[in-house]
Chains A and B, each alone.
Chain A
Amino acid sequence: TQLLEQSPQFLSIQEGENLTVYCNSSSVFSSLQWYRQEPGEGPVLLVTVVTGGEVKKLKRLTFQFGDARKDSSLHITAAQPGDTGLYLCAGRRGATNKLIFGTGTLLAVQP
Chain B
Amino acid sequence: EAGVAQSPRYKIIEKRQSVAFWCNPISGHATLYWYQQILGQGPKLLIQFQNNGVVDDSQLPKDRFSAERLKGVDSTLKIQPAKLEDSAVYLCASSSSSGQETQYFGPGTRLLVL
Residues of A within 8 A of B (CB): 4, 9, 30-31, 40-45, 48, 88, 90, 92, 95-99, 101-104
Contacts and interface: CB of A to CB of B under 8 A. Distances in A.
Contact of B101 (A41, A42, A97, A103): A97
A42 B42 contact: no
A31 B91 CA distance: 22
Overall SS of chain B's interface: loop
Nearest to A50: B100
B36 to A, nearest CB: 11
Contacts of A104: 40-42
Contact of B44 (A9, A40, A45, A101): A101
B49 to A, nearest CB: 12
Contacts of A42: 4, 91, 93, 105-108
Contacts of B91: 42-43
Given A43-B105, A88-B42, A98 B48 contact: yes
Given A92-B100, A98-B56, A44 B105 contact: yes
Categorize the interface residue count of chain B.
20 to 34
Contacts, number: 54
A92 B98 CA distance: 12
Contacts of A97: 31, 48, 95, 97-101, 103
Interface in B11-48: 31, 40-45, 48
B80 interface: no
A90 B31 CA distance: 18
B100 A95 contact: yes
B39 to A, nearest CB: 10
Interface in B43-92: 43-45, 48, 56, 91
Contacts of B99: 95, 97
